[in-house]
Amino acid sequence: MTAIRLIAGLGNPGPRFRHTRHNVGADLVGALADRFSIALTEQSRFKGLLGRGEIFGHDVRLLVPLTFMNLSGEAVGAVARFYRIEPKEILVAYDEMAFEAGVVRLKTGGGDNGHNGIRSIIASLGNVRGFHRLRIGVGHPGDRNQVTAFLTSVRMPEDERALVARGCDLSESVLRLLLGGDLQKAMTELHTPGED
């Protein structure tokens, strides 16, 4: 089992995109930073907000890229190369339209499934796809022509934001398993309804 050393949360920079569906990954990392008192500071060399701290005995870096979503790999790749972090030691949190708001799923590897942030990260890691993904459900507008506005222009309604926040509030047990590299057990626990 390989421990997680970097958790990156994707989004778009600036107040215009605050509380939009495309920013739920960045929000999750911000919440983790608050929960574990890890200061995130702007690091221009890494094109993001970066912090380092201990979460349940694990030395972890938290990253929120300050690039636009489709350039997320510039930040993730820079941090991974500088600190010699392997793709299998990286967890990326991002929005997933295939799930309803509040559903959170863990996955290892795979393609980008049309997600520009994930596509950029795969490219930045030398086309290695074996990093872990925390996919945060945001629902679908029902019409593919409305997807861009749905993700980046429309702020999530309060009830949806509450569902997403609840889904992203990972239990101590899930975090311990996840950070320790026991992705299978973390996945099982996270995906089991009614378990906390």
Could you tell me if residue 23 is inside a domain?
yes
| Number of domains within the chain | 1
Could you tell me if residue 196 is inside a domain?
no
Could you tell me if residue 58 is inside a domain?
yes
Could you tell me if residue 16 is inside a domain?
yes
Could you tell me if residue 63 is inside a domain?
yes
Tokens of 63: 């990253």
Ranges of beta strands (E only) in 110-156 are: 132-137
The reply to whether the predicted model has a pTM over 0.85 is yes
**Bigger pLDDT: 140 or 1?**
140
Could you tell me if residue 1 is inside a domain?
no
pLDDT tens-digit map of 131-161: 999 999 999 998 989 998 999 988 899 999 9
pLDDT tens-digit map of 38-84: 999 999 999 999 999 999 999 999 999 999 999 999 999 999 999 99
Residue among 22, 58, 115, 191 flagged as catalytic: 22
Indicate the helix (H) or strand (E) that contains 184. helix 183-191
Beta bridge partners of 185: none
CATH number for the domain that contains residue 124: 3.40.50.1470
Which domain covers residue 65, as residue numbers? 6-191
Secondary structure (DSSP) of the chain: -----EEEE----SGGGTTBGGGHHHHHHHHHHHHTT---EEEGGGTEEEEEEEETTEEEEEEEE-S-GGGHHHHHHHHHHHTT--GGGEEEEEEETTS-TT-EEEEES---TT-HHHHHHHHHTTT---SEEEEEE----SSGGGHHHHHHTSBPPHHHHHHHHHHHS--HHHHHHHHHT-HHHHHHHHHSTT--
Tokens of 70: 């489709």
Could you tell me if residue 106 is inside a domain?
yes
Q: How big is the chain, counted in residues?
A: 196
Residue 58 known to be catalytic:
no
State the chain's mean pLDDT as an integer.
Answer: 93
Could you tell me if residue 89 is inside a domain?
yes
